[in-house]
Amino acid sequence: KQEVTQIPAALSVPEGENLVLNCSFTDSAIYNLQWFRQDPGKGLTSLLLIQSSQREQTSGRLNASLDKSSGRSTLYIAASQPGDSATYLCAVITGSARQLTFGSGTQLTVLP
Amino acid sequence: GAGVSQSPRYKVAKRGQDVALRCDPISGHVSLFWYQQALGQGPEFLTYFQNEAQLDKSGLPSDRFFAERPEGSVSTLKIQRTQQEDSAVYLCASRRLAGTDTQYFGPGTRLTVL
């Protein structure tokens, strides 16, 4: 059974810092990997989707990498801002339904 | 355009009551998913529809959970004889095709069973 782990569970940083969130998965037979953001009381917002054949994706201040063979992904956030405060979820796409298997998330707080 | 909507946003039920949660996917999206998110955890897959066909229900935790999408658009997740452990946020997501493109999530329904 695919398991996704995210480290750390919580992170607090001062505004302006660069930071890295880690994600690992146990089964490398994935279609894609996706990073989401979740704000309290709201649904999930897709940040980046990395195809299994890709190594990284970039969007603005966000950069996500994927090492499928070792079962790892990282989300790099540059020049963090208080508005980046949220829970970040990593998910792999697997299965006949191409459903998402999520980690438990990293709760990020960026202090002004 | 309109995103995925869910109703109600909050539901409080007494233990043993039946509840019905509604999902309106993005118009024209073929695929529809239900996920359950317990407090402090990531969402967990419950079931998948491709149009009106329920192709995967392997994540439904018990036979008290039932989902339908009779006309291939709106979906309803029904929970019979609710238990306290059913308390969670229920998320619906839709996807344009049946492949591996992005899933778009609704805001969720927070169910509290007393």
Return the residue in A98, A102, A106, A107 with the most chain B beta carbons within 10 A, the one to mutate for interface testing.
A98
Structure confidence by residue, pLDDT tens digits, B33-42: 999 999 989 9
Contact between A44 and B99 using a beta-carbon 8 Å cutoff: no
Name the minimum distance, in Å, from the CA of A67 to any CA of chain B: 19
Flag whether residue A82 sits within 8 Å of chain B, measured between CB atoms. Answer: no
Mean pLDDT over each residue of chain B, to the nearest integer: 95
Which pair of structure tokens corresponds to residue A36?
Answer: 């989401």
Residue B24 has pLDDT above 80, yes or no: yes
Percentage of residues in chain B with pLDDT exceeding 70?
A: 98
Let me know how long chain B is.
Answer: 114
User: What 3-state DSSP class applies to A7?
Assistant: strand
Give phi and psi for B84, each to the nearest 5: -60, -35
On chain A, the residues whose CB falls within 8 A of the CB of B5 are none
Torsions phi, psi of B52, nearest 5? -90, -5
Contacts of B59 in chain A (CB under 8 A): 99
Q: In whole angstroms, give the CA distance from residue B114 to residue B110.
A: 13
Q: Which residue has the tokens 């660069």?
A: A18
pLDDT digits (tens, 9 = 90+) for A19-44: 999 999 999 999 999 999 999 878 89
Contact (CB<8Å) A43/B44: no
Predicted pLDDT at A42: 81
Encoded tokens for A50 = 């990395």
Residue B16 has what DSSP assignment?
A: T
Spatial contact of A68 and A30, defined as CB atoms under 8 Å apart: yes
Residues of B in contact with A53 (CB under 8 A): none
Q: What would the DSSP string read from start to end of B17-77?
A: --EEEEEEPPTT--EEEEEEE-TTS--EEEEEEETTEEEE-TT--STTEEEE-TTSS-EEE
Query: What's the CA gap between B106 and A53, in Å, rounded?
Result: 29
pLDDT of B16 > 80? The answer is: yes
How far is the alpha carbon of A106 from chain B, nearest alpha carbon, in Å? 10
Q: Do B103 and A100 touch (CB under 8 A)?
A: yes
